[in-house]
Structure 1
């Protein structure tokens, strides 16, 4: 199974009536907003930290000055050391790797989030029953890395073939860089999210898909208008509204939480923000927070597109 191109070329429209996939190929490539520069001064030429390897510095002095990195550097090294000592395919190793994924996901460097994807995929490969719910975290990791197409492929696969993926009797070619995905799906199609209203299955996937569709819409809006682009823009906007209304139908106050708490926040809000939400909604909020932060303008665009309840339970919405 080959992986689709992550960076389609930006070309002029030639076909007077192109397919949505052809239109998507004309847009600027999806890119992430993760840091690759020095963690202290933002110099572009930097080398990985000699301790954890998950942040970069342009010189040793800047690592010494960055005392804010000390605690997480030690924590990462402890997990790395523990993982290295445990035998491959040992349950304890994958528990430790899951813990490391959680730590790395809180960081904002490209190398850390790339490492979290490697660990998360390895855990999913070897824990076929997915007791650690990696299938819920991976879409957001992919979005943070700018791998929008792979994220879409992954979500489509899981919402259509979950039982097959969870069956240990089914074999895969794990040399493939991205198993558990149906490759080269058309991101302009309507996402078949299919999460159960009662147990909120696939809720994080649906939130990830809203973010992905917003990114597609923002890419469309960033280039000169054409008749074909306007038609696709209308289609994607309607898909977004449908997805958001479905989420509102399950958790009525989910979007007000996002709009009120995430718009200006640079750090994850306090736990009281999660009052009134169940575990799946809280998980979706926590996983989506850095993606919102790394997608400037996405919250504001969505807020102008959908209707949300006028107030949160027990309190008026902030202005």
Structure 2
């Protein structure tokens, strides 16, 4: 499966000899000529990133220069790790860093998404309790970069340890985001609870769909295998699938994927129903986003159109960039009409 987010010149789609824009540092061009021709289109987003970075730099300098007082420890970036936001002086910095993430995501390149994800992960390191809610936009970033296993591990931690009422978010000695190589093929029961985080469930649904695409590709390659040497077939099969599938020896060696295809189809459909029940606005908006992608809801309640708008903005690009994903949701919507 080939995702459509790729490192290429936005003017000619060239992928060779790319140079970074020296303003935002996340857009790329094949050369000076195309950078100049794209200037008007890129200028607003580029300036947005530069301005957001400048504001963040100022806020960081303020924190590093803070001598400390009875409410604020000195050396905040060493002594305050895990407790940002709870320390009042850090809030402007955290808001500025989140604003930079939003600015970066307006530029459609892997460099921009990776930079945004790196900032988000570090914000969680600084503020484990995540008062600002940065975790909700992160699954979409993982998925846009093809980091499906990391995304699944991230989500599973929040649905397991992250749901433990006895977990002490202020204890920096406790494990955090330590789920590694979880079974992405496993049952979806964990994600079907009444109060499941819809932004995470939407991401799990996309992970399952991507697995389904990969397994179907493997199944189709079995037919091809009758006509080509085994070594060549193995190379072809490895190129067809994600690292999750390629790393599963049992699946890669199986000649009949029928049962697994059926199971994944069932899981995707079950997650579709969970999201539909949680927020009836989401799937219709994914099919016809309109101005929901630019709305700026200030407050929301679970299940409302405002909540849908936020989740849609976090996840839409990851769905559009996955071949066949929108068509699959359209088919499920036709199969399960009505509210």
Verify same fold: TM over 0.5: yes
Deviations 1:238-266 (A, max 9, x none): 1111111122222234323323x05xx7x
- Note the C-alpha offset of 1:221: 1.6
Structure 1 pair 271/279, CA: closer, same or farther in 2 (3 Å)? closer
Equivalence for 2:269? 241
SS of the counterpart of 1:222?
A: helix
Q: Distance in 2 between matches of 1:308 and 1:256?
A: 12
Deviations 1:1-50 (A, max 9, x none): xxxxxxxxxxxxxxxxxxxxxxxxxxxxx654323112322222211101
Match of 1:42 among 13, 26, 33: 13
Q: Distance in 1 between matches of 2:97 and 2:261?
A: 40
Gaps of 5+ in 1: 1-29, 174-178, 313-319
1:150 and 2:157 equivalent? no
Equivalence for 2:27? 55
Equivalence for 1:106? 106
Q: Distance in 1 between matches of 2:130 and 2:3?
A: 27
Deviations 1:169-208 (A, max 9, x none): 14268xxxxx6141001111023444763xx541100011
Normalised by the length of structure 1, the TM-score is: 0.75
Which stretch has the larger CA shift, 134-143 or 296-305? 296-305
Matches within 5 A, 1:50-199: 50-66=22-38, 67-85=40-58, 86=60, 87=63, 89=77, 90-163=90-163, 167-171=169-173, 180-194=177-191, 197=194
Q: Hey, which of these two has a bigger chunk of helix by percent?
A: 2
Equivalence for 1:284? 311
Question: Which of structure 1's runs of 4+ aligned residues deviate more than 4 A?
Answer: 163-166, 192-196, 267-272
Q: Distance in 2 between matches of 1:112 and 1:269?
A: 18
SS of the counterpart of 1:304?
A: helix
1:304 and 2:331 equivalent? yes
SS of the counterpart of 1:64?
A: helix
Gaps of 5+ in 2: 65-76, 78-89, 223-253
Structure 1 pair 132/228, CA: closer, same or farther in 2 (3 Å)? farther
Which stretch has the larger CA shift, 137-146 or 235-244? 235-244
Structure 1 pair 166/134, CA: closer, same or farther in 2 (3 Å)? farther
Deviations 1:42-85 (A, max 9, x none): 22221110111010112223222212111111111111122223
- Note the C-alpha offset of 1:214: 0.9
Structure 1 pair 31/172, CA: closer, same or farther in 2 (3 Å)? farther
